[in-house]
Structure 1
Amino acid sequence: MARTVARVIVDALSELGVHQVFGVVGDALNPLTDAIRTTENLEWVGCRHEEAAAFAASAQSQLSGTLGVCMGTVGPGSVHLLNGLYDAAKSHTPVLAIAGQVPLAELGTDYFQEVDNDALFSDVAVFRATITSPDQLPQMLETAVRHALGRKGVAVLTVPGDLGERELTSDRPARFSLNAPLSRPEESAVRRAAELLDRSERVTLLVGRGARAAREDVLALADRLAAPMVLTLKAKEGFEGDTNPFQVGQTGLIGNPAAASALQDADTLLLLGTDFPYRDWYPEGKTVIQVDTEAAHIGRRVPVDVGLVGDTGATVRDLLAHLAAEPPGTDGARDRSHLEKARERFEHWREGQARLADPAHDKGLLGRMRSSLDNRTHDIRPEALAAVVDRLADDDAVFTSDTGMATVWLSRFVEMRGERQLIGSYNLGSMANAMPQALGAQCLDRERQVVAFCGDGGLSMLLGDLMTLKTHQLPVKLVVFDNRRLGMVKLEQEQVGLPEFGTVLDNPDFAAVATAMGIAGIRVTDPADLEKAVRRAFDTPGPVLLDVLTNPDEIAVPAKPTVEQGWGFAVAKVKEIVRSHGDDSTL
């Protein structure tokens, strides 16, 4: 078989263990997609939008820790990849994007559909290059892949349309030897951090995704320090559940009062593998120790007393070795009251949340009073939907969530117990990510349950790729929080005293749309039907769209609600009522 540019690239992807390539076919990609067609164990997944293809590739990379691959053809096809690639870049996950280009002789002539890919991807990619000669392969491909894997980012390789079928003069195979380094901080810094921890009476851990591979070491450190463990959203996977007696949930706008108090009550804060970005949620006046593999992350969110640059597991083990067996000023055992207080608050908050999530909540006295104010049409509570999904989903399910209120309800009511995994656009904050990420996740394992928490705004933005699920018969379960709103934007407007504006969505019956596409569609409008509908969705083979009409006026109270936010909501509601009455009077 001739060693063409396309064949060398595709054979190398197969050798790397890539099983799917996501994209939309087109002129410059034809040699590459034809090479995929004739390659065993490599599947072309034709999407309806290149953005969905990039999200799917990013999801595969995040779940597997290996290379995700997507393709976009000349000009607009490559431009469409950009948002999904930004999500991969912000998620620090390796993705290779193959971008088509106009023929070599036309480069720089403002040819039809010509886009300067090297400029276009300059901000998002850790490596970008345009192949101008067949003999640049396989070295340029090797360089692109090593950059993506080694720097955990996006590499973009541009292939002009007349180059894919040209043959190489060399027969050297591509080689991708790459070992991840294990780094440790300086011992003097570890000793200094251990001394500060030994002298601290109340330590709280803020644990992020970078600590997930070191779970047992982190649990041992929490036990030694009698420290409550506040989790970032991405640390739910790996640290949540009854097997972690130290966790107290999350902080930030989607967090809870117990986590906020655990941070505020501490005298020392230990950050492990997190770059939690929200500065307002860090307490002031604390001793802060931060562990991160990236030196540039140390201290960029909160002032740090000791920065430890190194692998989380190795660093935590070094800290455990340097901590005193008996902290100074103690009788041999560290006081555990700080941990016990935080856990007690957390359990109390969880009990209250469980009551809100009961589908029968609105039938009780307090529920009826609450409904008269915020749910007069008796829509389904989103808390109830998330809680039922949590209870009925598999313990090894993969969850994805759209940015916005769907993520809020997942964060509070879905527990990442067992072998569950979670991905979302949690760094970029893009809309429309949940369904295409679920697409990529399901392609990895068609037998594993994949559940997408979709906002109605996010789902409708890339609605066409429902057909990709149908075409490839990917059994994703799409749970649509159909509140007819851009819910998070509505909440943002109201908390500063503005009436909601521009957030109302004129939605179709999404279940009927899915049915028309050949996908099982289920629509739920009555809270009494909720559990039965979720069970039916999970029991139905193939892809299913569960369209649940949820309460658009549901409020997720932040962990530290302020007086200003309270006044903002009150003023906004008055304005909304006045505007509504004014609208009625003109009819």
Structure 2
Amino acid sequence: MTTIAEMIVTALADEGVTHVWGVVGDALNPITDAIRREDRIEWIGVRHEEVAAYAAGAQAQLTGTIGVCMGTVGPGSIHLLGGLYDAKKSHAPVLAICGQVPTCEIGSEYFQEVGNDAVFGDVAEFTATVTSAAQLPRMLEQAVNAAVSRPGVSVLTIPGDVAGMKLDDSSPAPRFVARDRTTVPGSAEVTDAAEALNRAEKVTMLVGAGAREAREEALQIAEKLSAPMVLTIKAKEGLERDNPYAVGQTGLIGNPAANAALEGCDVLFMVGTDFPYRDWYPSGKTVIQLDSRLEHIGRRTPVDIALVGHCRPALGELLPKLISKPSDKHLKRAQEQYQLWCAGQQRLADPGHDRKFLGRIRRHLDNPQELIRPEALAAAVNTHAADDAIFTSDTGMSTVWLSRFLHLRGTRRLLGSYNLGSMANAMPQALGAQILDRDRQVVAFCGDGGLMMLLGDLRTAVTYELPVTLVVFNNGRLGMVKLEQEQGGLPEFGTVLDNPDLAAVAEALGLQSRRVTDPRELDAAVAEALAQRRPVLLDVVTNPDEIAVPPNPTLDQAWGFAIAKVKETLNSRE
């Protein structure tokens, strides 16, 4: 006879799970012991359970199969929540196995007892507590199938006295179902969309992660419609490379060309995106939205024609019905404006920028100490990283610089907390990615604030010999919050970080590390770090006053920033 713990571990291994992330203890002991005896699954013990959830979510996003993490009784499970919410918002299939107090003590306010079903009720597509052997394998089937089919998070809570229970030999093995990816919109809706696109003089496409598997179809649509393609940051992967129609991102991390392409169109065609920022959508346009999730249609901007289906088959149905546009003026205008903006950004990325004529003028305003500009750091990583590298980024300014200077050429991949917007995700996601393939380069764009939140798990990279490269944009600030305060006319407050020497800390934890403060050393330092095949932390001291100008800065923002700078100057004299 087998135990519940053994049945769960065997079923997950049969499903293709190769790693389980967590912290051992208490109720999990029967399950971790079953993992110890299962050669197909490797247990990865982390220093904080939030890291486990982020890493499992990263693996799910990269592989399309379920990621698994575990947290033991009470606080151990609660620590999973940050990473699980990121998986929920990223639609990543993740199973969290949580421990619980003995069944006879449930409801007694026992030591470390937490009502997991209630705690995880919002984050999970499925949550249940197993109290008898007879409930398995049905509950495991429900949990995995819910996580994969939605996709999202499932939480299965197992008290320690239950995990070791014996299963009857006649118990059937769990049966997991595959996710359906063949939904196609109705023919009438496709015809309506084609007619609207054919009538329009100027079409702009706003393309998201849902279209990554429909790259060729999306490019053919753009070619036929002479449509500039505004990409969300999640769509950079797969759709940015060799794409003459791409004009970058919109929103706060975007550029003026993308904003102008949206504002200047007659028809906005949203393809596989749920881009959340309503203020950045144009008004007065005919809007067509294609999305596989009905609940996404129209929740960001009013939609005139809805296409519910997966992007690849839907665009395949639409393409033959489209008529090529006689004019490409709209596209050419967006392309020229984008190329002009990119050229300006590249000047800032030159490590010698501040020593040139225009650079010396700007340096006196925003970088008098001649610190390394974050643009130069991001550009150097882009130059020296492999064409098949996997990148992760912390939320905040490190994502701004990644979006503007990292080009996802080749088979590069990208992960971040781009829906939840959490801090501290880059390093854990990099660990999850690296353990899938230790030979593939994995690079994390870390903010100093994010890295310090989960600093202890730098040691996890050393323990499991994961050759991640952690590039720290060390500006001694919560940079995005600083920018938000100043644009609102407020002086910077509460954003300064009293960091230790992060390179020295990393060295003490066993990583190879280097601290870079001189712009002239930057390029060689980045190249050297990326050439290593061991855990590396590159601590780059960057300019805290670097300004990421939004695509369409308003007078109020400019005035607010000026007022904030005056207040900061006065405060510094007090």
TM-score (norm 2): 0.99
Distance in 1, Cα, partners of 2:518 & 2:536:
19
Distance in 2, Cα, partners of 1:389 & 1:67:
31
Could you tell me which residue of structure 2 aligns to residue 585 of structure 1? none
Once the 2 structures are TM-superposed, how far is the Cα of residue 321 of structure 1 from its aligned partner?
Answer: 2.2
Once the 2 structures are TM-superposed, how far is the Cα of residue 181 of structure 1 from its aligned partner?
Answer: 4.2
Is the contact between residue 495 and residue 566 of structure 1 (CA under 8 Å) also seen in structure 2? Answer: yes
- Whether 1:416 aligns to 2:408 is yes
Could you tell me which residue of structure 1 aligns to residue 545 of structure 2? 553
Structure 1 runs, 4 residues or longer, greater than 3 Å off = none
Distance in 2, Cα, partners of 1:135 & 1:7:
15
Could you tell me which residue of structure 1 aligns to residue 11 of structure 2? 12
The 5 Å alignment of 1:111-510 reads: 111-169=110-168, 170-241=170-241, 243-324=242-323, 333-510=325-502
Once the 2 structures are TM-superposed, how far is the Cα of residue 234 of structure 1 from its aligned partner?
Answer: 0.2
Once the 2 structures are TM-superposed, how far is the Cα of residue 179 of structure 1 from its aligned partner?
Answer: 4.3
Could you tell me which residue of structure 1 aligns to residue 512 of structure 2? 520
SS of the equivalent of 2:11 reads: helix
Once the 2 structures are TM-superposed, how far is the Cα of residue 196 of structure 1 from its aligned partner?
Answer: 0.7
- Alignment deviations for residues 21-41 of structure 1 (CA, whole Å, 9 cap, x no partner): 000001100000011011112
Root mean square deviation of aligned Cα: 0.8
Amino acid at match of 1:217: E
Is the contact between residue 56 and residue 437 of structure 1 (CA under 8 Å) also seen in structure 2? Answer: yes
Distance in 1, Cα, partners of 2:569 & 2:412:
43
Could you tell me which residue of structure 2 aligns to residue 329 of structure 1? none
Distance in 2, Cα, partners of 1:303 & 1:104:
50
Could you tell me which residue of structure 2 aligns to residue 569 of structure 1? 561
SS of the equivalent of 2:92 reads: coil
Q: Where do 5+ consecutive residues of structure 1 fail to align?
A: 327-332, 583-587
Once the 2 structures are TM-superposed, how far is the Cα of residue 314 of structure 1 from its aligned partner?
Answer: 1.2
Could you tell me which residue of structure 1 aligns to residue 38 of structure 2? 39
Is the contact between residue 483 and residue 552 of structure 1 (CA under 8 Å) also seen in structure 2? Answer: yes
Distance in 1, Cα, partners of 2:186 & 2:530:
51
Once the 2 structures are TM-superposed, how far is the Cα of residue 178 of structure 1 from its aligned partner?
Answer: 2.4
- Alignment deviations for residues 353-394 of structure 1 (CA, whole Å, 9 cap, x no partner): 111100000000111111111111111000000000000000
Distance in 1, Cα, partners of 2:356 & 2:537:
31
Could you tell me which residue of structure 1 aligns to residue 533 of structure 2? 541
Distance in 1, Cα, partners of 2:91 & 2:326:
37
TM-score (norm 1): 0.97
- Alignment deviations for residues 469-494 of structure 1 (CA, whole Å, 9 cap, x no partner): 11001000000000000000000000
Could you tell me which residue of structure 2 aligns to residue 99 of structure 1? 98
Once the 2 structures are TM-superposed, how far is the Cα of residue 540 of structure 1 from its aligned partner?
Answer: 2.2
Is the contact between residue 222 and residue 229 of structure 1 (CA under 8 Å) also seen in structure 2? Answer: yes
- Alignment deviations for residues 85-124 of structure 1 (CA, whole Å, 9 cap, x no partner): 0000000110000000000111111111000000000000
Is the contact between residue 181 and residue 310 of structure 2 (CA under 8 Å) also seen in structure 1? Answer: no
Quote the sequence identity (%): 64
- Alignment deviations for residues 168-200 of structure 1 (CA, whole Å, 9 cap, x no partner): 123422221324141111211111111111110
Once the 2 structures are TM-superposed, how far is the Cα of residue 323 of structure 1 from its aligned partner?
Answer: 2.1
SS of the equivalent of 1:155 reads: strand
- Alignment deviations for residues 415-466 of structure 1 (CA, whole Å, 9 cap, x no partner): 0110000010000000000000000000111100000000000000000100
Distance in 1, Cα, partners of 2:334 & 2:132:
62
Distance in 2, Cα, partners of 1:299 & 1:515:
50
Distance in 2, Cα, partners of 1:290 & 1:504:
42
Amino acid at match of 1:29: L
Distance in 1, Cα, partners of 2:293 & 2:96:
25
Amino acid at match of 1:411: S
Once the 2 structures are TM-superposed, how far is the Cα of residue 538 of structure 1 from its aligned partner?
Answer: 1.2
Is the contact between residue 424 and residue 451 of structure 2 (CA under 8 Å) also seen in structure 1? Answer: yes
Amino acid at match of 2:282: P
Distance in 2, Cα, partners of 1:267 & 1:172:
57
- Alignment deviations for residues 305-328 of structure 1 (CA, whole Å, 9 cap, x no partner): 10111111111111112224x6xx
Distance in 2, Cα, partners of 1:560 & 1:199:
29
Distance in 2, Cα, partners of 1:579 & 1:139:
63
SS of the equivalent of 2:167 reads: coil
- Alignment deviations for residues 276-328 of structure 1 (CA, whole Å, 9 cap, x no partner): 0101100111110000011111111111110111111111111112224x6xx
Amino acid at match of 1:531: D
Q: Where do 5+ consecutive residues of structure 2 fail to align?
A: none
Distance in 1, Cα, partners of 2:555 & 2:524:
41
Could you tell me which residue of structure 1 aligns to residue 21 of structure 2? 22
- Alignment deviations for residues 174-227 of structure 1 (CA, whole Å, 9 cap, x no partner): 221324141111211111111111110000000000000000001000011010
Could you tell me which residue of structure 1 aligns to residue 50 of structure 2? 51
Is the contact between residue 3 and residue 171 of structure 1 (CA under 8 Å) also seen in structure 2? Answer: no
Distance in 2, Cα, partners of 1:191 & 1:103:
59
Could you tell me which residue of structure 2 aligns to residue 330 of structure 1? none
SS of the equivalent of 1:157 reads: strand
Amino acid at match of 2:380: V
- Please, which moves more after superposition, 3-12 or 135-144? 135-144
Is the contact between residue 197 and residue 268 of structure 1 (CA under 8 Å) also seen in structure 2? Answer: yes
SS of the equivalent of 1:162 reads: helix
Count of residue correspondences: 573
SS of the equivalent of 1:61 reads: helix
Distance in 2, Cα, partners of 1:181 & 1:557:
39
Amino acid at match of 2:539: D
Distance in 2, Cα, partners of 1:334 & 1:436:
49
Once the 2 structures are TM-superposed, how far is the Cα of residue 157 of structure 1 from its aligned partner?
Answer: 0.3
